[in-house]
Amino acid sequence: MAYKILVVEDDATLLETLEYNLARQGYEVITAVNGRVALELARRQEPNLILLDVMLPELDGFEVCRILRQEISVP
């Protein structure tokens, strides 16, 4: 079973590059382009790791991190 990584990035080029390279290394990659979607996916998908951009639209990465740390245990 592959480790599941949630990548949260609003820059489409960077997001695509990260997704491609992580998938090539055998990881299951889930992506989100804003903080609200990231919260929903983290709660539903239970990733093993979250790569989180801090400068996001709607809800910044610091706020997403604060909320997630209260709700789930993910590095």
User: Which domains, ranges and CATH numbers included, belong to the chain?
Assistant: 4-71 (3.40.50.2300)
Contact 26, 2 (CB under 8 A): yes
- Helix, strand, coil shares of the chain, percent, nearest 5, are 45, 20, 35
Listed residue (12, 9, 15, 6) closest to 43, CA to CA: 6
CA distance 20 to 46: 20
Average pLDDT over residues 48-60: 94
CA distance 8 to 31: 6
Which pTM does this prediction carry?
Answer: 0.91
pLDDT in tens, 8-28: 999 999 999 999 999 999 999
